[in-house]
């Protein structure tokens, strides 16, 4: 394996665990906070928590599995593009809201940065590692 593969793998595992912790926190909020504060937002946050947990689990599977199926690589790349897009859009929105003097949800900004970072690491690992290993071994 290439010298970049191991650090990227470790970063992907750490990012996946962080995303899973965010999902767990969201499920806690869904269970104990939102029913009394904002019950109408429960379906939205349930979907977000499920997507975070799914992305985390698939990323961990991809990082920990030695032989990776092509379908899993494609799913990771697509989900990573979505994660990066969500991260950029949500971060930019929170920054724009703050500059306009509006209400800023710090937890959304934190989730956006974390998910965008996870997406970046995952896409580098999914696209970069196979190419780096192929280039290093001379196989085409």
Domain ranges of the chain: 5-137
- At CB < 8 A and 24+ separation, what contacts does 49-56 make? 49/23, 50/23, 52/19, 52/20, 52/22, 52/23, 52/26, 52/115, 53/19, 53/20, 53/23, 55/16, 55/19, 55/79, 55/83, 55/115, 55/118, 56/16, 56/17, 56/19, 56/20, 56/23, 56/118
pLDDT of 39-80, one tens digit each?
999 999 999 999 999 999 999 999 998 777 899 999 999 999
One of 1.20.1440, 1.20.58, 1.10.150, 3.30.420 is the CATH number of 5-137, namely 1.20.1440
Mean pLDDT taken over the chain: 91
Judging by beta carbons within 10 Å of its beta carbon (0-12, 13-18, 19+), is residue 24 exposed, middle or buried? middle
What is the reported pLDDT for 35?
Answer: 96
pLDDT of 94-140, one tens digit each?
999 999 999 888 999 999 999 999 999 999 999 876 565 555 555 54
Q: Which of 4-18, 21-35, 56-70, 124-138 has the weakest average pLDDT?
A: 124-138
What is the reported pLDDT for 135?
Answer: 56
Whole-model pTM: value is 0.87
What is the reported pLDDT for 129?
Answer: 62
């Amino acid at each position: 394996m290439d010298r970049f593969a191991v650090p990227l793998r470790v970063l992907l595992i750490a990012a996946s665990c962080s995303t899973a912790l965010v999902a767990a926190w969201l499920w806690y909020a869904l269970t104990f906070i939102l029913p009394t504060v904002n019950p109408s937002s429960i379906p939205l946050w349930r979907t977000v928590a499920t997507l975070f947990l799914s992305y985390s689990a698939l990323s961990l599977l991809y990082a920990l599995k030695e032989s990776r199926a092509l379908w899993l690589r494609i799913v990771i790349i697509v989900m990573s593009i979505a994660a990066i897009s969500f991260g950029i859009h949500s971060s930019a929105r929170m920054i724009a809201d703050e500059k306009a003097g509006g209400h800023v949800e710090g937890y959304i900004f934190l989730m956006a940065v974390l998910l965008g970072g996870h997406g970046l690491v995952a896409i580098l690992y999914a696209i970069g590692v196979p190419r780096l290993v192929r280039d290093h071994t001379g196989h085409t």
